[in-house]
Structure 1
Amino acid sequence: MSKKREKKYIVVADFKDLKDGNHVYIKGDKYPRENSENKPTAARIKELASIKNKMKKVLIKEQD
């Protein structure tokens, strides 16, 4: 059996994550941060990867 590869994301625009203790992510950071207490849900990732968030712009994208 092969293990399902976990998707990795990169920050494409600076933002403060209101659902991760107001942690500030800077363009180029990995998302989520390594020691984050709150693992993001699929819905949260979809929100940040689209324009359907408070900043109205794409904040993360999937890493190749």
Structure 2
Amino acid sequence: MYKVVRRFREKNHDGYVYNVGDDYPKQGEKATKARLDELSTKNNKYEEIYIEEVKKVPKVKE
């Protein structure tokens, strides 16, 4: 799962605007490995990071 860290318009999801804190991709959409790499690194047209991977932490039983 990824979280948006910089607002952007997703060209691959009919121009949908992702805001900071949104999940990426939104429900019902898919993203390719190449697109995830492009958005999560500075290897894109604007040299900005737009999403960060969220690591799932297992819940500890008390």
Q: Please report the TM-score for the alignment, with normalisation by the length of structure 1.
A: 0.79
Question: Identity, % of aligned pairs?
Answer: 36
Structure 2 letter corresponding to 1:29: D
Long gaps (5+) in structure 1: 1-7
Q: Once the 2 structures are TM-superposed, how far is the Cα of residue 48 of structure 1 from its aligned partner? A: 0.3
Structure 1 letter corresponding to 2:32: T
Structure 1 CA distance for aligned equivalents of residues 17 and 45 of structure 2? 15
Structure 2 CA distance for aligned equivalents of residues 9 and 47 of structure 1? 13
Q: Once the 2 structures are TM-superposed, how far is the Cα of residue 47 of structure 1 from its aligned partner? A: 0.4
Q: Is 2:25 aligned against 1:28?
A: no
Instruction: Give the corresponding residue for 1:58.
Output: 49
Following TM superposition, the consecutive aligned residue runs of length 4 or more in structure 1 with deviations greater than 4 angstroms are none
Q: Once the 2 structures are TM-superposed, how far is the Cα of residue 40 of structure 1 from its aligned partner? A: 0.8
**Counterpart pick for 1:46 among 5, 15, 37:** 37
What is the root-mean-square deviation in Å for CA atoms of aligned residues? 0.9
Q: Please report the TM-score for the alignment, with normalisation by the length of structure 2.
A: 0.82
- Counting matched residue pairs gives 55
Give the structure with the higher percent helix. 2
Structure whose CA Rg is larger? 2
Structure 2 letter corresponding to 1:45: L
